[in-house]
Each structure stands twice: as structure tokens, then as C-alpha cells.
Amino acid sequence: MGRIVCAQCERPEASCWCEKLCVLCQSQLDVHLCTDGLLYCEACRTACDYKRANV
Ligand SMILES: [Zn+2]
Ligand SMILES: [Zn+2]
């Protein structure tokens, strides 16, 4: 698997300065970049079984 970058700014999570909003529910609670390059909150990651990009 290659390096996963933010779909909006094409930077890895550590240097991504996009507003941290879940793409599904717009929550700001524990939002992280996932393997598809989009940002998801903890609840949506759990519900949809998305994996964090960098752990
Ligand atoms: Zn970004
Ligand atoms: Zn969410």
C-alpha cells in the first residue's frame, strides 16, 4: 500500500491542514484520515469499518 494522502490537499495526515470534518456526518469528534483519503469521525469509522491511514 502506498502512502495515503488527503483527497483534498494531497498531503499526508501529519501535514494536512484541511478542516477536520467527517465527510459523512460533519462531526469534528476524533476525525482522522482513512485509507480512502477521506476524513471520518470515530463513530463513522467504527460503523463502516474504515481503517485509519497512519497508525
Ligand atoms: Zn487535507
Ligand atoms: Zn462521521
Give per-residue pLDDT as tens, 26-40.
999 999 999 999 999
Distance 14 CA to ligand 1 centre (A): 9
pLDDT for 2 beyond 80: no
What are the sequence ranges of the domains in the chain?
Answer: 1-55
Concatenate the DSSP letters of all residues of the chain into one string: ------TTT---GGG--S----TTT---TT-EEBTTS-EE-HHHHHHHTPPBS--
> How far away, in angstroms, is 50 Cα from ligand 1 center?
17
Q: Could you tell me the distance, in angstroms and rounded to a whole number, from the CA of residue 21 to the centre of ligand 2?
A: 8
Tell me: pLDDT of 1 over 60. no
- pTM value is 0.88
Mean pLDDT of 32-52: 96
Ligand 1 centre distance from Cα of residue 47 (Å): 23
Which ligand sits nearest to residue 31's alpha carbon? 2
26, three cell numbers: 460533519
